[in-house]
Copies of this chain bind each other. A is one copy, B any other.
Amino acid sequence: MTAASLDVVAVGNAIVDIIAAADDALIDAEGLTKGGMQLVDAARADVLYGKMGTAHEISGGSAANTIAGMAALGRKCGFIGQVADDQFGKVFSHDIRAIGVDFTTPMRGEEPPTAQCLIFVTPDGQRTMNTFLGASQYLPARALDKVMIERAAVLYLEGYLWDPEEPRAAMREAIAIAKNAGRKVAFTLSDNFVISRHGDDFRALLNAGDIDILFANEGEICTLMDTEDFEAAVAAAAPLAQTLVVTRSEKGAIAIQNGVRAEVAAEPVDKVVDTTGAGDLFAAGFLAGQAEGRSLADSLIMGSVCAAEIISHYGPRPEADLKALVAARLG
């Protein structure tokens, strides 16, 4: 096994977020599940866009946000994801390359267009996401950059991308490539509904020892372990991965690594503007902390610092200097 020249390479959805403020009445009227992510087709996306106020467009995608955060923290990263040959595809490609991330996946044709996520942000800062997967759902296994995966210490996968068939097959192959090269695999569960659709797959991966680092939030780990008792879920999940990281919003986060448990409080935030990307940036901070050789607790704190930054403004990509924020908090 050669030394890794990249810290993390992620396989994820390549999405442009379309973000707008919305009131709770709209969420109700459209029958949306507040705080969740639902997949929508082009027609439904058009309807929802029509109901949306003036929006901002910002590159998104769960794993891509994590990679962007890690790059902002100075780590060397790669990203694999499928965009179309259109304006949003150029926007996504530009934004991820502009922060120094290796992104070599070839564009697909013009149709379907690059994935878009319509995000309604309510006054409480909660985000409700409606994703039109477009080109992203056609990431083929042949588009995987095998050498890039072999070069990275950690392969990071997002559960959201488990829904469509082609990327699911691609991620299975990516796991095989990483494992074969002696690399670690990190996986984020993404969303309760994703687990309800694919929990059997995720549990099988864990039982097979294919996932070294598992990221989840409180609800997700309970859903995965089929219990409403948080501590029971954690106790059941921890032995299945070398490292288990569970975020609990304002209650902070815990990690269990090889049987050792660390727990941190949430970092203070003046005002929660938009929670989009909170979990993604938590993962970024945690993985960067681990790559820097920090303790489990300090890695959690790095995750909390990054999550606190991202929820203090609109959009899932860092705006403040994350390195400086971490240095101010941890030295």
Contacts and interface: CB of A to CB of B under 8 A. Distances in A.
A48 to B, nearest CB: 11
Contacts of A304: none
Contact of A54 (B49, B55, B86, B99): B99
A128 B173 CA distance: 46
A54 B88 contact: no
A25 interface: no
A18 B59 CA distance: 12
Q: Place the interface of chain A in its size category.
A: 20 to 34
Given A52-B94, A87-B88, A98-B52, A58 B59 contact: no
A125 interface: no
Contacts of A56: 56-58, 315
A53 B99 contact: yes
A95 B315 contact: no
A66 to B, nearest CB: 14
A47 to B, nearest CB: 12
A1 to B, nearest CB: 33
Contacts of A57: 56-58, 91
Nearest to A50: B94
A317 interface: yes
Contacts of A98: 20, 52-55
A284 to B, nearest CB: 14
Q: Which of A59, A86, A95, A317 has the most CB of B within 10 A?
A: A95
Interface string A49-83: 11011111111000000001000000000000000
A26 to B, nearest CB: 12
A57 B18 CA distance: 9
Nearest to A57: B57
A94 B55 contact: yes
Q: Which of A20, A57, A59 has the most CB of B within 10 A?
A: A57
Nearest to A51: B98
A113 interface: yes
Contacts of A95: 54-55
Interface string A289-331: 0000000000000000000000000010100000000000000
Interface string A161-205: 000000000000000000000000000000000000000000000
Given A49-B94, A94-B49, A54 B317 contact: yes
A18 B57 CA distance: 9
A157 to B, nearest CB: 23
Nearest to A319: B21
Interface in A13-40: 18, 20
15 contacts: A18-B91, A20-B98, A50-B94, A52-B94, A54-B59, A54-B95, A54-B98, A54-B99, A54-B317, A55-B94, A56-B56, A57-B58, A86-B86, A86-B87, A87-B113
Interface of A: 18, 20, 49-50, 52-59, 68, 86-88, 91, 94-95, 98-99, 113, 315, 317
Given A53-B99, A54-B95, A56-B56, 6 more contacts: A49-B94, A54-B68, A54-B317, A55-B98, A56-B58, A86-B86
